[in-house]
Amino acid sequence: MTYEKKLVIGLFGFGVVGEGIYRVLKQTPTLQAAIKRICIKHPDKKRNAPAELFTTDADLLLNDPEINVVVELIDDADAAWYIVSTSLGSGKAVVSANKKMIAAHLAELLQLQVDNRTSFLYEAAVCGSIPVIRNLEEYYDNDMLNSVTGIINGSTNYILTRMNEDGMAYDDALELAQELGFAETDPSLDVQGTDAANKLTIILNHAYGIISKPEDIMCKGITQLHPTDSVYAKEKGYSIKLVARANRVNHTDVAAYVLPTFVGPRSQLFNVRFEYNGVIIGTRLADEQFIYGKGAGRYPTSSAVLSDIAALRYGYKYEYKKARTGVNYQISTDHVLRIYVSCENMADINRLDFIAIDETYISQNRKYITGTISFDKLRKAAWLNNPDNSVIVFAEAGPAADHQLEELE
């Protein structure tokens, strides 16, 4: 549907992003989009907007036939699912930034869009201000995607930068990230890698047409990293980053994981610091391309929400073209990784799990082992989830392999 008339918006949430988009829209009159009502949770909070705009009654927005666009920016995934599914069900266009809700309900959301022929846009849900989804949907439509590799959680990148570059303790760096508004309301979503897995679930759909659940993605956050890991990284010239990666391992299978990763200076990700995000897109024809920007924060995230609202003026919808290529990609467990495992007690690590061991180091403080392991063995290894052990993957096992997929004539 193209909106000849004005976009009449029902806004849910008036927090970091909600208030941001309220302010931005006030300063963008040319867009012809006006917020009619704002639904929030706590009526007694002081708001920087006229009191008559606010309500705690969601149905007042959902049942208002004049509201043709719902912008959902709340921090409660269950309530967001009710808001978004009800809105799409009644034919309203929806813009959301809620990656947790979208990743959990991907299949149902795809169906709702088909059934109701309405737009559901969520650029802000993946890497804040960086247009990852729109690029995967539109630009990388024909050139075969070999891989998508990125730092897609600004909060953990901020924490790791502070720890690696300033020697800050983990707890202090996390507190600072929260103070600056980079961390999720529930920071465990960030530091355990769940937020990145939610985003990778969405990326997998737009890159390869895969409909998966975040639980299908192997995911390790940064909570098990040990200070000696940074010492190892510095000695070898690496930086430790939380990297999300999806790469084709053959013509039907895609490896997908979120893991702490040693990134070397030749990678574009090496210089992605603080709350910034960066995504390397590896393609068959164009080799590697890199997109970089702010992955969180009030105005960067509002910029993506604004872009989605503007796209509704010309009736833009995601077409989910990758699901219609005739290739049914699936998540693979049949590939190998080169990893480093550091531990308190070497007896914890079953060396027989490895295909090959490159290096073993034992000191009084800490021990480590590096080697090649099958992905399947790694994800099933009992020692992986022992809080005394940290696992970091070497990045170079990945991108170089992309080039071996197929030779061009």
Q: Is 294 a catalytic residue?
A: no
Strands 33-39, 218-219: parallel, antiparallel or unpaired by DSSP? unpaired
| Least CB distance to ligand NAP at residue 128 (A) | 5
The per-residue DSSP string of 262-314 comes to EE-TTSGGGG--TTEEEEEEEETTTEEEEEEEE-SSHHHHHHHHHHHHHHHTT
| Least CB distance to ligand NAP at residue 144 (A) | 29
Q: In the complex with ligand NAP, which residue's Cβ is closer, 79 or 233? A: 79
- Nearest residue to ligand NAP by CB is 15
| Least CB distance to ligand NAP at residue 63 (A) | 15
- Which of 274, 276, 267 is closest to 245 using CA atoms? 267
- Which of 48, 392, 329 is closest to 203 using CA atoms? 329
Q: In the complex with ligand NAP, which residue's Cβ is closer, 59 or 406? A: 59
Which H or E run includes 159? Answer: helix 154-166
| Least CB distance to ligand NAP at residue 301 (A) | 4
- Angle of helix 154-166 versus helix 227-236 axis, rounded to 10: 80
What does the block give as tokens for 217? 């993605």
Strands 54-55, 33-39: parallel, antiparallel or unpaired by DSSP? parallel
Catalytic residue selected from 199, 220, 294, 367: 199
Q: In the complex with ligand NAP, which residue's Cβ is closer, 205 or 301? A: 301
CB atoms within 10 A of CB 364: 5
| Least CB distance to ligand NAP at residue 300 (A) | 7
Q: In the complex with ligand NAP, which residue's Cβ is closer, 99 or 367? A: 99
What does the block give as tokens for 114? 């088909």
Residue with tokens 């040319």: 30
| Least CB distance to ligand NAP at residue 333 (A) | 29
- What is residue 64's DSSP assignment? -
What does the block give as tokens for 5? 């008339």
Q: In the complex with ligand NAP, which residue's Cβ is closer, 297 or 398? A: 297
Strands 239-248, 145-151: parallel, antiparallel or unpaired by DSSP? antiparallel
Binding site for ligand NAP (CB under 6 A): 12-18, 39-42, 45, 58, 73-76, 79, 97-99, 124, 128, 181, 184-185, 296-297, 301
Q: In the complex with ligand NAP, which residue's Cβ is closer, 205 or 302? A: 302
Residues that are catalytic:
199
